[in-house]
A = this chain, B = another copy of it.
Amino acid sequence: MIFALDAMGGDFAPHAAVQGTLDALEKTSKSLNIILLGDETAIRTELGDRDSDAIQILHTDEVVTMEDKGSKVLKSKPNSSLVRGIQLVKEGKADGFISAGHTGAIMSATLLTLGRIPGVRRPALAAYFPTEGRGKVLCDVGANPDAKPEHLAQFAIMASHYYDHVEGFADPKIGLINIGSEPGKGSNLYVETYKLLAEIPNFVGNIESRHLLTSEADVLICDGFVGNTLLKFAESWISFFTDEIKGKIDEKLSYKIGAGLLKPIFEDLKNRFDYEEHGGTPLLGVNGISIVCHGSSGPRSIMNSIFLAQKCINNNLIEDTKKSLAIHFGK
């Protein structure tokens, strides 16, 4: 298997991509090759004497920055690591693309280059919440700030396949994020989406966000504005909580001792909700594997994203999503 990795994307480029690649190669027993795209000198400097036969470097001289308009990069930065990486997938030279760069640019360039799975109206992004047991998937977390009921119904199928094929938990139950549990609750978008989801066998109804982490639903569906807002809020809570505790530690010796004793629990929680630990998320609904990583991804997150891309291929995510959409939406 061979993956194209954007070495210039994210806050810790190219270190995170290079180190993540080396770690992935060391840990996997499967046949794995990585094409690192980006400034060859910078990548070689980072690699030092740790070069490997499994690594190729493809020099690109443009870099997509956060100031670029995501929807324009295909034309404005044709020789960027981001655009060239996705093209390698299209050309069949890579099995998937991975980047911690500009999310909007990855989504747009992927969609325009690889196209959609037949029948898919809108690609979507899913995020995994590592709760007790199977964990939860929230979808969409930002690809579609303005969505329609038919989009959300498709997200339910796409995200269920992600949950089953990539996270590895069979028969996921689907819930609709809403502001009340009864049918008929919510904005027009959610009232109409409920009706469409009610026709899917695994749908368990509306889920209020207070039960997001604990309800029977495994896959939680919402529009990209709500999902992105929830995801970012969740990320901030762990820090808020630990910062509150840190802020008080100096008040009393007993607090300092208590915090020291509970440190393993806090660290476990922080790790579980750390994107580092989990890696990126595949852009769902596009006709190929394109993994979007958090901008602040470090080496571990990149390594895990490579493993995630492997799972997508090994478990036939795209073909199975295609079949299931055809069954549910008749195309």
Chain A residues proximal to chain B, CB less than 8 Å = 132, 142, 145-146, 177, 179, 186-188, 190, 208-214, 222-226, 228-230, 232-238, 240-241, 244-245, 247-248, 254-255, 257-262, 264-265, 269
Q: Which residues of B contact A142 (CB under 8 A)?
A: 179
Nearest-neighbour CB distance to chain B for A56, whole angstroms, equals 34
Q: Of residues A142, A188, A236, A248, which shows the largest number of chain B Cβ atoms within 10 Å of its Cβ?
A: A236
A222: B residues at CB distance < 8 A: 229
For the complex of A and B, list the 7 residue pairs with the smallest distance between their C-beta atoms, beginning with the closest.
A258-B261, A145-B187, A258-B262, A210-B232, A209-B233, A210-B236, A179-B228
Can you list 11 A-B contacts (CB < 8 A)? A146-B187, A179-B228, A179-B229, A186-B225, A190-B225, A211-B236, A212-B236, A226-B229, A241-B269, A255-B261, A258-B260
User: Closest CB-CB distance, A252 to chain B, in whole Å?
Assistant: 8
A254 to B240, CA, bound (A): 24
Task: Determine the distance from Cα of A209 to Cα of B241 in the docked complex, in whole angstroms.
Answer: 15
Min CB distance A177 to B, Å, is 7
CB of B229 within 8 A of CB of A190, answer no
A223 CA to B186 CA, complexed, in Å = 11
Told that A179-B224, A210-B233 touch, could you supply 7 new A-B pairs with CB distance under 8 A? A179-B232, A187-B225, A209-B233, A210-B236, A245-B265, A255-B265, A258-B258
Most chain B C-beta atoms within 10 Å of own C-beta, residue among A211, A214, A241, A260: A241
User: What copy number does this chain have within its complex?
Assistant: 2
Chain B contacts of A226 at CB under 8 A?
225-226, 229
CA distance A117 to B210 in the complex (A): 33
**A237 CB contacts on chain B under 8 angstroms:** 234, 237, 241
Given A213-B240, A262-B258, A190 contacting B145 (CB threshold 8 A): yes
B261 touches A254 (CB 8 A): yes
Residue among A229, A230, A234 facing the most chain B CB atoms (10 A cut-off): A229
Shortest distance from the beta carbon of A233 to any chain B beta carbon, whole Å? 4
- Chain B residue with the shortest CB-CB distance to A254: B261
Q: B146, B177, B261: which contacts A229 (Cβ < 8 A)?
A: B177
Closest to A233 in B: B209
Query: Chain B's nearest CB lies how many Å from the CB of A221?
Result: 13
CB distance from A320 to the nearest CB of B (A): 30
> Which chain B positions have C-beta within 8 A of A244?
265, 269
Would B236 and A213 count as touching, CB distance under 8 A? yes
